[in-house]
Chain A
């Protein structure tokens, strides 16, 4: 404590860049309390996991290239679908969005850092350990988790492999990380806004994360409770999910989807925020209907808590519940429609230009909306009886997740990367990346709608002959999609190392708006130590 007292009220701000040894260089990243450093760490973890889980997807698609293939064993196939889903949700999209929040929210609201910087470090540094634990399940005795990313009881309780316990604890760590991250974001937005930055002046991205953080606080503890019940059912003789003792496997689904449905909005609301930043910039107009964009996010978040059982239409829940959850789900189309309308209206009569972030944003607008429509089809109870557990569902959620959340994340990285590292990315490579990704994305997932409608179930390693053509097409698309991400990686690394030799100005984009463009590029290690003036 002595070293603190000597500084009294004004203390010395740590600046990196003087590390000589490798140990000191590593220590900088491990001990950092800086929101920019932590944002970078989140984004790189997400990038790494993107290739890990993407590799799993390619193994899945290779196995499905033709019927009767034995490229991987059916047992391993099940582990691949499980881990692909878990890692993509918890290891790719969530960390990437949190990384963007860390980088951008303090810059956007004029704060010197996140409200609780040490806690911020802990939120990140729990994640590598969580994924170490999750991925270690491949190397212990017995199979890795093999019951699908939704880990339904009793598959995961009575019949789950020993590795399930490692997965449970990994989810506990991830949940803890998310809860602490959410608390930090809420405290930052409530308490750290620059004077004059009223709530209704906040950028939509900050708003979207503000709401998302509340969603996280309302659902991650439920997931923690749910996996704790799994653990006690597996080892301590409780009967939460066992009807022989008066419990119910359906209780698992209720708890899981009470978490799971708001969770998909956790994955998409910050993406909405990103798109609401990018479209105005490249349309050179203000966002159309700012207030309604904010209200729509709030309404979507509230509704997301009361729609969970639309994942359970075929489980035999009462008819009255089915009707309630069907209508509640369809009502979400209204605020979502408001958002799509306002994005379109933002572009209307704007002077548009099509740099890579804008391309991804427009790709998002088309394909996310498409995925939203297939979601409406799934929401209709009698139709869902047909679609349930088929490839139609796989097609639907990849349209909203891959060409929704992931497209928005990619758009955000192209959009803000010049601000972060001070160099422009290579526009030509960016365009190649966009078009190849969009091509691969649609070749892979569009045909899955037909497969599903024709009756091909999801999560199977083999299929009847009549599904062969579409599966081959999907596999070819998946390889285009997967390998075109290497262009992205190359472009990002090249930009960070300044190989493009094109320095970014502070404003970066002609149609820029917001506080982040008022600081230099690259953004200095400490920004807004004195709060900016907002009028």
Chain B
């Protein structure tokens, strides 16, 4: 029982929460570029966070050879089921043999397709996802078939409110190892500047273009190579900040002016080329409060999911839909 790739965009991969534990061996954690979207997909299906299809910029045509529950999350994309439009940020029931069509993103970068029961793919170094920079796994190609996991069943027809993280905005940052080497005036200029997300960007990181002069550092060439963490804002020789994402290298010798808070990384990943981004330094106390709030939000996603209100006029053939699901004989509940 599989999902068959009939066509697909150039950046479709399997992604999950990544592979922690290999930093000492030079392998970064990797995993979904937008971890919040991964959690949203899981919440819409009432299951634990696992692997989903991550679609950079555009999806593809996918055929399910069995009935399936799916959730669409992350960057909103045009989606349809056998020609019928499907709501984004929602979960749906698909009959056996359905062909799902997912087009380009209307905003943001990474869209996610989660499937009830996940994928029955082998674990490699403790995870199913691709780490492209490490040569672990690869992008999906036409003709690929992904085996589906057993779905114990669960809700569909749920939706989550739309979020504002798909068009840039302000990123909260903590000081990093070289922040102190920047004069105060430079740090203030860094906060006052509006940056544009460059066309250069991938799962390793995204380049930002300053409006004015770059943020190069005189001592930039003599910094000892040191551990890198996702969110680090690296300033290479050209002075244009490069914000590192989940698939980043594990060490680096470029100066780092700050580190984006983990809870703001989805906003970085989802800023499409041309999006405007700004930085704001925060205290550690503020950062901890933001992280606490973020985790509470993730923990509350399942509760936040609301039933989709269907307009009967949108349903061409009411009888073809299972309007009542989850009916049991009752014994399971006792």
A and B together in one complex: no
Using CB atoms and an 8 Å cutoff, list the residues of chain B in contact with chain A.
Answer: none
- Contacts from A to B (Cβ < 8 Å): none
